[in-house]
Amino acid sequence: MTDPRIHKLADILVNYSLKAKPGEKVLVQDSNIEADFVRALVEAIHDAGALPFVTLRDRTVERALYRRATAAQVELQAKFEADRMREMDCYIGFTSLRNQFAWADVDADHMELYNRHVWKRVHIDVRVPHTRWVVLRYPSAAFAQLASMSEEAFEDWYFDVCTMDYARMSKAMDPLVELMAKTDMVRISGPGTELSFSIKGLSPIKCDGSMNIPDGEVYTAPVRDSVQGTISYNAPAEKDGFTFERIVFEFEKGKIVKATANDSVRVNRLLDIDEGARYVGEFAIGINPFISSPMKETLFDEKIAGSIHFTPGNSYDDCFNGNRSALHWDLVLIQTPEWGGGEIWFDGRLVRKDGLFVAPELECLNPDRLR
C-alpha cells in the first residue's frame, strides 16, 4: 500500500502549488526514478482533469551523456526540450538523491555547455517565465545521510516540512512583503559581512508553497548597480558536483570584483560564464521554522529560518532588476547565534537580529510562532 503521505504531498503540488485546471498540460520530470510518487502525481493530475506528461531521468545516465557530448548535440537537446516545455502549462520537477556528487567528474567545459544551453534555454528562458512550476526533492537514504539522520526519522521530518500549512505561512508573510515594498536601502552585517544595496521599486514576492516544496522565503532583487561591500557566506554550497565553502564576494557598483572560496579558480570560472553572472539577481529572507541547519541541498538550505540568500546571476521576471545570466546560484548566509549572528536593517531600522525578527510587525515569522 502506498504511504498516504505521498498522496497528500501530490495533492498539495497539483492543487495548491500549481492549481492545475482541466485540460492543462502538466510535465512531471523526475531524476532518479521514484515510481510510487510519480504514479501518485499522475493520478492527482488526472483527478484534476489535467493532462499528465512524464520524463524519467537518471543522474548516472546523464553523467555518461554530458561527459562526452558535443556542442551541436547539447544545442539540439536544448532545442527539442525547449520546444516541449513551450507546449506545457505546468511543470513539476523533482530529484530523489542517490549521490550528491554524481556529476563530480564532468569537466568544466561540458558543464558550461549544459548550463549555457539546456539549463538556460529550457528552464530560465522557457519554464520559469512561461509555466506555473513547482520543484522539490524526494526522500532517500543519501538525502537522510546529508541531514545526519536515520532514514525513518528523515522521512518523518521531510513530510512534516513539505506538507506544512503553507496557507497559514503565506498569511504570516504579508507584513514582511508590505515592509519590503516600502524599503529603499538594505544593510546586512555580520562576521565578515558588511553589505548595502537598494531594493526600491522591486516588488517583493512570497514563496509560500507555490513554486518550491519545501518553501518559506520572501524574495526581491537589488537594484542592479547598487550593491556595495562584502558578503561572507557560511553555508556550504554544492554546485556541479563540488562543495564550495567560505565563499566571499566583494562588490563595487553592483559587480562582484573579487571572489574567493576553498577553490577560488573554480568559483571565478562560474562567475565568468557571462556578464550577468557577476551581478546579483535575487535577495531573499528565509523563514521556514522546520529547517535550521544546512545539508548542501539548496532547495532546503535557502529556506533556513534566520538566513538570507544573495544570488549571483539571473533575475526572475516577476521581480526583474535587468540582470540576465545562465547562472542563478542561491548562496546562503545564516545569521542565527550558532552561525555567528548578524543583522538586517531596512532604511536604518533594525528588523532582524541574530536570526530573529525584532520589528514587532514581523515577530509572527519567528520559528516559535510559525510552527
pLDDT at 33: 87
The helix (run of H) or strand (run of E) holding residue 146 is: helix 141-146
Whether residue 88 is predicted with pLDDT greater than 90 in this model: the reply is: yes
Q: What span, in angstroms and rounded, lies between the C-alpha atoms of 180 and 186?
A: 9
Q: What span, in angstroms and rounded, lies between the C-alpha atoms of 272 and 295?
A: 27
Full-model pTM: 0.85
pLDDT at 244: 97
Question: Of all residues in the chain, what percent are helix, strand and coil, respectively (each to 5)?
Answer: 40, 25, 35
Amino acid at 139: P
Task: Identify the CA nearest to 122 among candidates 165, 71, 86, 91.
Answer: 86
pLDDT band at 100 (very low <50, low <70, confident <90, very high): confident
pLDDT band at 371 (very low <50, low <70, confident <90, very high): confident
Residue 264 in grid coordinates = 577560488
Whether residue 347 is predicted with pLDDT greater than 90 in this model: the reply is: yes
Question: What are the structural domains of the chain?
Answer: 4-162 (3.40.1830.10), 166-370 (no CATH)
Mean local confidence (pLDDT), 34-42: 95
pLDDT band at 2 (very low <50, low <70, confident <90, very high): confident
pLDDT at 1: 58
Mean local confidence (pLDDT), 113-130: 93
pLDDT band at 101 (very low <50, low <70, confident <90, very high): confident
pLDDT at 16: 95
- Distance set, CA 152 to CA 88, 144, 299 (Å): 36, 9, 21
Q: What span, in angstroms and rounded, lies between the C-alpha atoms of 291 and 302?
A: 9
Q: What span, in angstroms and rounded, lies between the C-alpha atoms of 360 and 187?
A: 19
pLDDT at 365: 98
| pLDDT per position as a tens digit, 227-268 | 999 999 999 998 988 999 999 999 999 999 999 999 999 999
b/e 232-261 (16+ beta carbons within 10 angstroms → b): bbbbbbbbbebebeebbbebeebbbeebeb
Peptide bond into 129 cis (omega under 30): no
Residue 266 in grid coordinates = 573554480
Torsion of CA 127, 129, 134, 140, to 10 degrees: 50
Task: Bin 6: left if φ > 0, else alpha if -120 < ψ < 50, else beta.
Answer: alpha
| pLDDT per position as a tens digit, 306-331 | 999 999 999 999 999 999 999 999 99
Q: List all residues 6 or more positions away from 157 whose beta carbon is below 8 Å from its beta carbon.
A: 147, 149, 290
pLDDT band at 139 (very low <50, low <70, confident <90, very high): very high
